[in-house]
Copies of this chain bind each other. A is one copy, B any other.
Amino acid sequence: MENAVLLMSGGLDSTTVLAWAVDKGYRVYALSFDYGQRHRAELERAMILAKRYAARAHHSIRLDPLPFCRSPLTGAGELALDRSRSEIGHGLAESYVPARNLIFLSMAAAFAEKLPARAIMIGVNSVDYSGYPDCRPEFIEAFTRAANLGTSAAFDDNAFVVHAPLMRLSKAEIIRLGISLGVDYGETVSCYQADSEGRACGHCDACILRRDGFAEAGVADPTRYI
Q: Report which A residues bind B (CB closer than 8 A).
A: 59, 61-64, 66-70, 91-92, 96, 98-103, 106-107, 109-111, 113-114, 133-134, 136, 138-139, 142-143, 145-147, 149-155
Smallest CB gap from A113: residue in B: B98
> What is the CB-to-nearest-CB distance from A39 to chain B, in angstroms, rounded to a whole number?
18
Do A142 and B133 have beta carbons less than 8 Å apart?
no
CA A99 to CA B153, docked complex, whole Å: 10
Query: Are A146 and B149 CB-contacts (below 8 A) given A63-B64, A99-B106, A154-B133?
Result: no
B64–A98 contact, CB under 8 A? no
The one of B59, B103, B138, B151 that contacts A106, using a Cβ cutoff of 8 Å: B103
Report how many copies the assembly holds.
2
**CB neighbours of A100 from chain B (8 A):** 110
